[in-house]
Structure 1
Amino acid sequence: MKALATFLRREIEVIGAGRTDAGVHATLMVAHFDFEGDTLDVELVADKLNRLLPPDISVYQVRRVKSDAHARFDATARTYKYYITTSKNPFNRQYRCRIHGNLDFKRMNEAAQELFGYSDFTSFSKLHTDVKTNICRITMAEWTQVDEVTWVFTIRADRFLRNMVRAIVGTLLEVGRGKMTVQDFKQVIELQDRGKAGTSAPGQALFLVNVEYPENLFID
């Protein structure tokens, strides 16, 4: 991060908690860096970085962690939200996926609950990636209504595969449109074939909203 290197006046390697698909947003992202020298005032670091960073990036908080802490490998859970809307709105087109026609959200939630019974999500993973396993543990998956025209899908898991959330959302939309049954959705998972799942939903409506860590990882 150039801002951090500028503030500390030395080259600094910054390790993020992960990466997101192109066009995906993050209302919260975690990263770590190693620093040898005088103890840093974490509040001062956050303030200085926010003065140096561009308008679309801000630092919420800086905390000290154990010397072997890792932003990616020590994360215990991540949460994403995907927003869809049935109304055209020029002011949120970069942050919502507009849906035409009616959706059966009750049926979509029934299908989403089936995710808890599986751990191999090859059917929702981008092909030809370098990951060693497609095993994930999903602990939350639910559609909720935000207002008259907006719904949000919240999903939490210990890890996510590339394109996984967008592929799940795209397949659940097929259930909502009546093009796929709940049983069909289960079969998609069991077949472990990306070609059987629905088209990935657009990236602009997806947000990484939380990354969780064991509390004993932090020093202060």
Structure 2
Amino acid sequence: MRYFLELAYFGKAYHGWQRQPDAASVQEVAENALSTLLQKKIEIVGAGRTDAGVHASQLYAHFDVEEKLPENMIFRINSLLPKDIAAVELFEVQPEAHARFDATARSYEYHIVQKKNVFQINTAYWVKKDLDVEKMNEGAKILLEYKNFKCFSRSRTDVRTYNCEISHAYWEKTTSGLVFHIKADRFLRNMVRAIVGTLLEIGLGKMHVQEMHTIIQSESRSEAGASVPAHGLFLTKIEYPKSIFN
């Protein structure tokens, strides 16, 4: 039978989600905990890859077992996980349900502070200069007019298509700064950080709003802004069709 495990993690200590031979990853830590508990090798499949240093308040992964798991499994998993990774929920799904391929939407947030905040040094990017949020939101709206976002993707990647369906993208003012919200059916590697970096160029007056059209149409990563640091990025929500749940 197949289970979905909901996880949350603080990404500073990890080289991203995906297991790697010479670096700590969230996937490896979670697999080791489950393998220890179930006394056999467990491999899990995540809903996507987060880069090194990126956080997640919600990420789902699936794995298979032969017998029904006990009700106290979440407590037992958390007892083996480090303090920066938490198991949130565990539930049985349809045998063919897939954490990655069945996801219909993913949401991210990027956090910015505009004054020095010692309590957010690992969870928000400090931008010291004033930003024109209205123009940044104008630039964000332009994203909804396009599907091909090759200009915001890492140059070396093995994806078959650069098309993504973005359903919303906007900046929200907070008491300490700004939060960028974006939701799409899928994301390319480095895409959100590159988008935020480009929108910051607009907010700082280094780029005109309408240049977003030229950048996206160019399909060239060199035309877009620099990627912002990973520590301000959070994967916040993954959505699935009801049909995969029991």
The TM-score normalised by the length of structure 2 is: 0.86
SS of aligned partner of 2:82: coil
Amino acid at match of 2:236: V
Once residues 115 and 90 of structure 1 are traced to their aligned partners in structure 2, the CA distance between those partners, rounded to angstroms, is: 33
Could you tell me which of 40, 54, 58 is aligned with 2:69?
A: 40
SS of aligned partner of 1:210: strand
Amino acid at match of 2:193: R
Note the alpha carbon deviations across 1:38-80, whole angstroms, 9 max, x for none. Answer: x223x32111101111111111100110101111111000000
Deviation of the 1:176 alpha carbon: 0.4
**What is the identity percentage for the equivalent residue pairs of Structure 1 and Structure 2?**
49
In structure 1, the gaps of 5 or more residues are none
What does residue 4 of structure 1 align with?
A: 34
Deviation of the 1:6 alpha carbon: 1.1
Matches within 5 A, 1:72-83: 72-83=100-111
Could you tell me which of 158, 162, 179 is aligned with 1:152?
A: 179
Matched, 1:213 2:243: no
Amino acid at match of 1:215: K
Once residues 11 and 57 of structure 1 are traced to their aligned partners in structure 2, the CA distance between those partners, rounded to angstroms, is: 20
Deviation of the 1:152 alpha carbon: 0.1
Once residues 94 and 146 of structure 1 are traced to their aligned partners in structure 2, the CA distance between those partners, rounded to angstroms, is: 17
SS of aligned partner of 1:28: strand
Once residues 34 and 72 of structure 2 are traced to their aligned partners in structure 1, the CA distance between those partners, rounded to angstroms, is: 12
Amino acid at match of 2:142: E
Note the alpha carbon deviations across 1:132-190, whole angstroms, 9 max, x for none. Answer: 1100000010100111x311000000000000000000000000011111111111011
Q: Retained in 2: the 8 A contact 1:81–1:206?
A: yes
Greater shift in the superposed pair: 1-10 or 197-206: 1-10
Once residues 129 and 65 of structure 1 are traced to their aligned partners in structure 2, the CA distance between those partners, rounded to angstroms, is: 31
Deviation of the 1:215 alpha carbon: 1.2
What does residue 163 of structure 2 align with?
A: 135
Bigger relative contact order, structure 1 or 2, given CA contacts below 8 A and separation 6+? 1
Deviation beyond 2 Å, 4+ runs, structure 1: none
Amino acid at match of 1:117: E
Amino acid at match of 1:160: F
Matches within 5 A, 1:85-164: 85-147=113-175, 149-164=176-191
Matches within 5 A, 1:26-37: 26-37=56-67
Matched, 1:174 2:201: yes
Could you tell me which of 61, 72, 95 is aligned with 2:89?
A: 61
Deviation of the 1:90 alpha carbon: 1.7
What does residue 189 of structure 1 align with?
A: 216
What does residue 70 of structure 1 align with?
A: 98
SS of aligned partner of 2:112: strand
Once residues 112 and 86 of structure 2 are traced to their aligned partners in structure 1, the CA distance between those partners, rounded to angstroms, is: 26
What does residue 84 of structure 1 align with?
A: 112
Deviation of the 1:12 alpha carbon: 0.9
Q: Retained in 2: the 8 A contact 1:170–1:201?
A: yes
Amino acid at match of 1:123: C
Amino acid at match of 1:19: R
The TM-score normalised by the length of structure 1 is: 0.96
Amino acid at match of 1:208: L
Q: Retained in 2: the 8 A contact 1:175–1:185?
A: no
